[in-house]
Amino acid sequence: MPRPEDELVKRQRERARLMAWLLGAFVILLFLITVAKIGLNK
Amino acid sequence: MTPSIAQTSLTADWRDLLALTKPGVMRLVVFTGLCGLLAAPVSLPPALGFAAILCIALGAGAAGALNQWYEADLDAKMRRTANRPLPARRMDRQTALHFGVGLAVFSVILMDLATNHLAAVLLAVSILFYVLIYTVWLKRRTAQNIVIGGAAGAFPPLIGWVAATGTVDTLPVLLFAIIFLWTPPHFWALSLFVRSDYAAANVPMLPVVAGIENTRLQIFLYSLALAVSAVAPYALGLTGLVYGISAAVLSAIFLVLSAIVLANKAQEPSGMKPERRLFAFSILYLFALFAAVVADRWVAG
C-alpha cells in the first residue's frame, strides 16, 4: 500500500506540472490578446 | 477509500478543483456565451473572442466553486451532490474558497484586458449575483429560488454580445429573457422526479413547498412566457426567418411537452416520464434555439 506521503508528493507534482502548462498557455494568450489589440487600434 | 493525509491536506487533486467548477453546467454557459458573441453585428479578432469565452467559462467556474464552498453542508445531504469534493471531504473548504475567489478575480481582469469595461462589469455582476443573491440569500429562503438563479445563468449571451460590441442591445436582452424564463420549467421538471432529495436537504423547492400539481401548473405558465420571449426576436424584426421558424417549432414542442406534464397526475417519480422527457428536451431546446440565432445571423450575412 502506498504511504500517504507518497500520495501527497504525487499530487503536488501533478498539480505543479498542470500549473506550469496553464501558466505557459496564459503567457501565449496574453501575447495573442496584445497582438489582436494592437491590430484593432491601427 | 481509507482516509489519508493527502485527502485532508492542502494539496487537492486537480481533478477535484475541476469538479468544483461544475463542468457540466459550463457547457451550456460556454455555448450560450459563444452564441451571444457570434450573433453580435461586430466580429472580434479570434484571440479576443476566445479570451472572452474563456473568461465567461472561468467566471461560471468561479461561481460554481463558491457555490459549492458555501453549500458543502447542503450537498452532503443529497445523493446527487454527496460525492462532490467538499462533502466527500477530498478537499478542505478554504482551498475551495481561495480557488473560487482567485478564479473570479482573474476572469474579470482578463475580460477587461481582452474586451471592454462593460463586459467585465457584467461578468462580475453575474458572479456576485449567483453567489450572493442566489446561493447565500435566496436559495434556502424561497421556493422562487430557481427563478432568481435563472437570472445568473442568463448572463452569458449578454456578456458575449457586449464583449463584441461594447453596448447592450434589444436582442441580447431578449436572449437573457429566454434563458431566464427557460430555467424554471427546466429545473422544476427535474425537481419533480428528484423531489425527495431536496426535501431531505430542507431546500424549499417548489414541489416541496407548493405541491406537485402547483409545480406542474407553474411549469406550464413559464413555458407559455418562454414561447412568447422565444419568438419575440423574430416578431420584432431583430432576426430572420431561419430563427423565426426554428423558434416557433421548438417552442411548440416545448409547450406540448409541458402540457403533457400539466395533465400528468402521477405523484411518484416512477410515473414521471413526461417530466423526464420535458427535462431532456429542455436542454436540446436551448442548444437548438441559440444555434438558430447564430445560423440566422450567418444566413443574413
- Tell me which chain A residues have a C-beta less than 8 angstroms from the C-beta of B4: 4, 7
Closest partner residue to B114 among A4, A11, A33, by Cβ? Answer: A33
Hey, how many other C-beta atoms are within 10 angstroms of the C-beta on B138? Answer: 18
Q: How many CB atoms lie within 10 A of CB B260?
A: 16
- Tens of pLDDT, residue by residue over B118-175, are 999 999 999 999 999 999 999 888 888 889 888 999 999 999 999 999 999 999 999 9
Q: What's the whole-model pTM score?
A: 0.90
Share of chain A above pLDDT 90, in %: 55
- Is there a single domain that holds both residue B174 and residue B104? no
Question: CB-based contact (8 Å) between B48 and chain A?
Answer: yes
Q: Which amino acid is at B71?
A: E
Single-letter amino acid, residue A3: R
Nine-digit cell string for B210: 407548493
Q: Give the model's confidence band at B3: pLDDT under 50 very low, under 70 low, under 90 confident, else very high.
A: very low
Same structural domain, B133 and B38: yes
Look at residues B149, B165, B181 and tell me which one is the last residue of a structural domain. Answer: B165
Are B79 and B204 in a shared domain? no
Nearest in space to B250 (alpha carbons), one of B295, B215, B216: B295
**Residue B6's pLDDT band (cuts 50, 70, 90):** very low
User: In this predicted complex, what is the ipTM?
Assistant: 0.84
Reported as type and span, the H/E element at residue B280 is: helix B273-300
Q: Examine residue B5 and state whether it is found in any structural domain, yes or no.
A: no
Percentages helix, strand, coil for chain A (3-state, rounded to 5) are: 90, 0, 10
**pLDDT (tens digit per residue) in A1-42:** 667 778 888 888 888 999 999 999 999 999 999 999 999 877
Mutation for testing the A interface, residue in B1, B16, B48, B111 having most A CBs under 10 Å: B48
Domain span including residue B191:
169-301
Do residues B278 and B228 share a domain?
yes
Q: CA-to-CA distance for B163 and B33, rounded, in angstroms? A: 10
How many A/B residue pairs have CB atoms within 8 Å?
Answer: 44
- Chain B interface test: which of A9, A33, A37 (most B C-beta within 10 Å): A33
Based on the fold, state whether residues B146 and B207 are members of the same structural domain: no
**Per-residue pLDDT tens for B168-217?**
999 999 999 999 999 999 999 998 988 667 777 778 889 888 999 999 99
What is the CATH number for B149? 1.10.357.140
DSSP state of B77: T
CATH of the domain at B253: 1.20.120
What Cα–Cα distance (Å) separates residue B126 from each residue in B119, B130, B148, B203, B238?
A: 11, 6, 12, 22, 25
Asked which of B141, B165, B189 is the last residue of a domain, the reply is B165
B81 and B211 both lie in a single domain? no
Longest dimension (CA), chain A: 62
- Residue range B80-123, pLDDT digits in tens: 889 999 999 989 999 999 999 999 999 999 999 999 999 999 99
| B232 and B122 both lie in a single domain | no
B98 close contact with A: CB closer than 8 A: no
> Is B2 inside any structural domain?
no
Radius of gyration of chain B (CA): 20
Q: How far apart are CA B44 and CA B165, in angstroms?
A: 9
Domain count, chain B: 2
* B14/A37 CB distance under 8 A: no
